[in-house]
Amino acid sequence: MDERLAVVVSKIDELPEIFRQYQQNSPNETIAFTGNAKNKSSSELIIDEEEGKQFIDNLIQKRKLNKIGMFWVSGIEIDWQLLYDTPPKRIALPTYPFEKKRYWIQKDQTRPASKSVQAFPIDEPPQLLYLETKWIEKPIEPGKNPIDNQILVFCNHSDRFDKMRSNVVTVHSGENFEQLSETKYCICPDNASDYPKLIENLDHIPEFIIHLWSDHPFEPDNKIVRNDISKSLISLFYLTQALLNKKRSNNIRIIYAYPSNQPLYEAISGFARTLSQENSDIQLKTVGFKNPYEMTAHILSECFVNDGLEIQYDDKIRQVKQLQPFEPSSISELSLKENGVYLITGGSGKLGQTIAKYIAEKVQSTIVLCGRKNP
């Protein structure tokens, strides 16, 4: 800083009066010093030499504060640490002049004082609203809306789509990225770099994407499960990531069709809800069928319907999962088992610890807290 002000006081209560005098351009020049660090005289340049530094150190040892202040405002650097056994905390002051104009809204004395408003009337306490998820029947007419633009379909059996639409680009699962023809590609489901390559090779980013790689029921085999996860959650994650990194002007709807009543695939709905919250221009809808490949027309129709993110078909009856209010028949206290064992995931968080404390206060039990970080 070039412009400098040094004030020497014996106690902090003296500062307001000195600042007031300084503001009125009438400072006490015996205790308030001003200067510019750039305007060094020849005598001050001598102070910068070794002998001069010893002279300054001597002033500091003898606590000649007035002279120290005079030298500092003229541009001499002072080691302030030498003045204190414990270095004080520096305080940053505003760099702009204080403005005395008042901008607070004045209270209108002519208006009557407003009465205090209660959030809820005393005789009407807030009511709890109970919600539960239900499958609500909402039929649509298959094939009613034609798709004129290009559709990107992730499937290994594209015959049905090829027969119905000429504007279909299909993506098969394989070992490496490969363009098989103008309308057929092959990518590795769990290779993140294949998805940007696919998007770059398309003429344009399609408005509708249908994902049909989850084409068989769950099988309790570790290798098969890993492969199924690669073709479902991991594939959708890499796909949406590639779409988000690509500049585009249109919104995108992804239809993820899967065999219904399969927990491994139905878990994708959680990812779909999160995606819709964070990126409103990409919609991921999960649709469960007994056999997705027999419901091609219904899958295409889902591209145009925006009444929910979780859909299922039960014998061609279309249902949408929605929150619905309900009245509980009875509300009982949580049943806890004496000498039981309770595993709380997310136990390192505040909510998990609150639940653990509640259980510990109610029953003698073993509580295991599981979390990603130390509590």
Confidence of residue 242 (pLDDT cuts 50, 70, 90): very high
How are beta strands 131-137 and 317-325 bridged, if at all? antiparallel
Which residue type is seen at 114? S
d(CA 237, CA 9) in angstroms, rounded, equals 66
pLDDT for res 314: 84
Q: Is residue 112 predicted with pLDDT exceeding 70?
A: no
How does strand 341-345 pair with strand 366-370?
Answer: parallel
Strand partners, 330: none
**Tens of pLDDT, residues 15-47:** 888 888 877 777 777 778 888 877 766 555 556
Tens digits of per-residue pLDDT, 266-290?
889 999 988 988 888 899 999 998 8
pLDDT for 216: 78
The predicted structure's pLDDT at residue 142: 64
Q: What is the pLDDT of residues 295-306, one digit of tens each?
A: 777 888 888 888
Q: Spell out the domain ranges in the chain.
A: 3-83, 135-325, 341-370
DSSP assignment string, 45-102: HHHTSHHHHHHHHHHHHTT-HHHHHHHHHTT----GGGG-SSPPPP-PPPSSPPP---
Give percent of the chain with pLDDT exceeding 90: 25
pLDDT for position 161 = 65
Q: Which of 196, 192, 205, 210 is nearest to 303 (CA)?
A: 210
C-alpha–C-alpha distance, residues 196 and 239, integer Å: 8
- Of 63-72, 144-153, 174-183, 185-194, which range is least confident? 144-153
Cβ–Cβ < 8 Å for 144, 342: no
Please tell me the predicted confidence (pLDDT) of residue 160.
64
The secondary structure of 150-219, three-state, reads CEEEECCCCHHHHHHCCCEEEEEECCCCEEEECCEEEECCCCCCHHHHHHHHCCCCCCEEEECCCCCCCC
* Architecture of the domain defined by 135-325: 3-Layer(aba) Sandwich (3.40)
List of residues 6+ apart from 47 with CB closer than 8 A:
53, 55, 56, 71, 76
Q: If you average pLDDT over residues 132-140, what whole number do you get?
A: 90
Query: What pLDDT digit, counting tens, does each position of 308-355 carry?
Result: 899 999 877 899 999 999 888 776 667 888 899 999 988 888 888 899
Averaged pLDDT of the chain = 81
Residue type at position 358: Y
pLDDT value, residue 122? 56
Asked if pLDDT for residue 121 goes beyond 60, the answer is no
Instruction: Give residues with Cβ within 8 angstroms of 268, minimum separation 6.
Output: 232, 233, 236, 256, 258, 284, 286
Q: What is the CATH number of domain 3-83?
A: 1.10.1240.100
The SS3 of residue 227 is helix
pLDDT at 163: 61
Say what the pTM is.
0.57
Confidence of residue 198 (pLDDT cuts 50, 70, 90): very high
Residue 154's pLDDT is: 94
Query: pLDDT at position 108, please?
Result: 58
- Name which of 194-203, 240-249, 291-300 the model is least confident about: 291-300
- In the predicted model, is pLDDT for residue 95 greater than 90? no
The number of angstroms, rounded, from the C-alpha of 323 to the middle of its chain's C-alpha atoms is 25
